[in-house]
Amino acid sequence: MTTQPPNKKSDHQDPFQSSQEADWQNFRDHLTTTDKQGRRQWVYAKEPHGKWTQRRKWVSWLLIGIMFTGPFIRINGNPLLMMNIVERRFSLLGQLFWPQDMVIFAVAMLIFITGIIIFTTAFGRLWCGWTCPQTVMMEMVFRKLEYLIEGDAVQQRLLAAAPWTAGKFAKKAFKLGLFFALSFIIGNTLLAYIIGIDALLPIITDDPRQHVTGLTFMILFTLLFFANFARFREQACTYICPYGRLQSTMLDENTLVVAYDHKRGEQRGKLQRNEPLVKRIAGGHGDCIDCHQCVTVCPTGIDIRDGGQMECVHCTACIDACDTVMDKVGSPRGLIRYASLNSIEKGEAFQVTPRMKLYAVVLTGLILLFLTLVFTRSAVEAMFLRAPGSLFMTTPDGRIENLYTLKLVNKTMRALPVELKLEGGAGQLEVMGDKNLVVPPGKLIETSVLIKLEPTAVTGATTKLKVGVYSNGQRMQTVKTVFVGPRKEIQP
């Protein structure tokens, strides 16, 4: 969504406009964090204070707690979340998933995408401002440490411009050292989510030579996070994150966003010393006193008064900054607030639009499908394949036999005994090797199975068969396969 640019200055261009006003004219043509030559302009964001920042702090600390304890949490013995791409094992809310559960994964991805679309359509980039790990860690951990070590935005700017002294070197080295240590912890946490905490601990404690790959990824993740939080920062949201780029396709005039009330704020103008509000309003001014406090706190360096922008992560810092200013000048709070374009322009309350209703129906259907698939899938998955290159054999007693390869996957974290039965056919099923099939927790085993059929049960070159997979007397799955036999002579 693009909110209406303020006060229509572009329609009445003033030849004496300030450079700031000129910037306002072309803000959609360039990024505020780059200069005309395309060089990076470092954002020195002032520390925000206020009710929204406080709320975000609580939410962030809760999320940080969950994020760092997540790898240690187990449900039914399985990790809360694990994405073990190497071993192709995944765990979500304690449920183990295998590549064989691809359909469930596809539905989960659809839920995720539909959820994001419906959520963004209704509440804008609430995810970015409140829950995205990038924003949470950047604004609530790394930037807070920066404020503690280097001071607020003005001190940071002065320090950056100051010559290199021992004091400056010490501050910078201490900050970067701390950032690196934190990046190492975050990198290890990410690794724990990928391979599981049980696989991560040996990488940390064993001889490094035994875990070269694990250590390589550990260092790679650490360097990546360090580069991101120490240097890249808001550029990750602007240049890399696809969600930020796609948001304009999802927002509409009813979406709740962090917005500047241009109807109330314009014409903006500096507040003169001791100027009474009544006189100011009579002079055609709005509530915006053009103090730029909303800009100085913005971690992406934009001016929210220019309307909705791709860079805005809806962090609410400008709401708090403006509310503080409004309190000081005696105007009502909320010049910048959570609002939809329609609520600002037409005074309409938040509405559930037909688009949102449609998405909600689709999302509900997908969630129901997902739950059905998860709760009806069997604990053991069997794949029954004819042994490659094998033909049928005829035994001395006249029976016909086929050799199969059986793969069994245990999707639980407990060992499962498995029994196989030939369903509804006159024949015999024999497991080769160890007859007692026990599948270890979360593992895949492979064995060979021989099926012998009476000639009368063989209907032709191929006969359809069903094999029941049982565990503890309970049928887990029925596998369909094909039995190859001699071609039947066609009767004249």
| Binding region for ligand SF4 (CB under 6 A) | 258, 260, 265, 288-294, 297-300, 302, 304-305, 312-318, 321-322, 325, 335-336
Which residue number, 322 or 451, has a Cβ lying nearer to ligand SF4? 322
Pair 257, 227: CB distance under 8 Å: no
Query: What's the closest the beta carbon of residue 15 comes to ligand SF4, in angstroms?
Result: 24
Minimal distance in Å, beta carbon 324 to ligand SF4?
A: 8
For ligand SF4, give the closer residue by CB, 150 or 323.
323
CA–CA distances in Å: residue 464 to residues 46, 70, 399, 460, 481: 73, 47, 17, 10, 6
Element (H, E) at 406: strand 400-410
Q: Which is nearer to ligand SF4, 335 or 437 (CB)?
A: 335
Cβ proximity of 387 and 52 under 8 Å: no
Place of tokens 């989510």: 193
Q: Which is nearer to ligand SF4, 333 or 355 (CB)?
A: 333
In the complex, minimum distance from the CB of residue 234 to ligand SF4, in angstroms, rounded to a whole number: 8
334: left (phi over 0), alpha (psi -120 to 50) or beta: left
Tell me how far, at minimum, the Cβ of 142 lies from ligand SF4, in Å: 16
DSSP track, 329-367:
HTPPS-SEEEE-HHHHHT-PPP---HHHHHHHHHHHHHH
Sequence-ordered list of residues with C-beta below 8 angstroms from that of 352, at least 6 positions apart, any chain: 122
Minimum separation from the CB atom of position 160 to ligand SF4 (A): 21
CA 337 – CA 344 distance, rounded (Å): 10
Contacts of 487 (CB under 8 A, 6+ apart): 460, 461
The least CB distance from residue 45 to ligand SF4, in Å, is 8
In the complex with ligand SF4, the residue whose CB is nearer, 303 or 401, is 303
Task: Choose between 295 and 451: whose C-beta lies nearer to ligand SF4.
Answer: 295
Check if the beta carbon of residue 293 is closer than 8 Å to that of residue 321.
Answer: yes
What b/e string do you get for 311-329 counting C-beta neighbours within 10 Å, with b at 16 or more? bbbbbbbbbbbbbbbbeee
In the bound state with ligand SF4, the residue whose beta carbon lies nearer, of 152 and 290, is: 290
